[in-house]
């Protein structure tokens, strides 16, 4: 395992009706720091099971080093769990997500 790539990750809830984000990944820095995936219960209260799972998987993707992918149509269009906005079409990593994970982690 590469030095500097081991951190703790915690899942926590918060309740902020003014925040439109359903969830956030908070990166804390270097080794020994704890990163957080925070779920906004106010924003997620009406989300169904599939959407909640998609949001959680998307934020976990960030914690694993994946970035947002474009959800616009066109020549470079790909289906990705890492689209900036949550989509209920799928709640599992797509081919591009798996390929990017493999590039980062082997």
Instruction: Average the pLDDT over 96-105 and give the result.
Output: 93
Q: Residues 36-63, buried b or exposed e (16+ Cβ, 10 A)?
A: bbbbbebbbeebeeebbebbbbbbbbbb
Output the six-digit token pair for 12. Answer: 């926590």
Q: Three-state SS for 9?
A: strand
pLDDT 10s digits, 75-86: 667 788 898 877
Tracing tokens 């590039």 back to the chain, one arrives at 103
DSSP code of 77? -
Domain limits, the chain: 8-105
Furthest-apart CA atoms within the chain: distance in Å? 42
pLDDT 10s digits, 43-80: 999 998 888 999 999 999 999 999 987 766 666 677 88
User: What pLDDT, on a 0 to 100 scale, did the predictor assign at position 2?
Assistant: 45
Give the CATH number of domain 8-105; options: 3.30.2010, 1.10.10, 1.10.3470, 3.30.1370.
3.30.2010
pLDDT 10s digits, 10-53: 999 999 999 999 999 998 877 778 899 999 999 999 998 888 99
């Amino acid at each position: 395992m590469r030095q500097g790539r081991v951190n703790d990750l915690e899942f926590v809830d918060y309740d902020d009706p003014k925040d439109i984000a359903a969830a956030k990944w908070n990166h804390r820095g270097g080794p020994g720091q704890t990163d957080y995936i925070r779920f906004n219960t106010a924003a997620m209260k009406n989300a169904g099971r599939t959407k909640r799972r998609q949001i959680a998987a998307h934020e976990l993707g960030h914690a694993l080093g994946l970035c947002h992918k474009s959800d616009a149509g066109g020549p470079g269009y790909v289906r990705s769990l890492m689209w900036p906005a949550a989509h209920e079409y799928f709640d599992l990593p797509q081919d591009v997500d798996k390929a990017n994970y493999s590039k980062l982690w082997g």
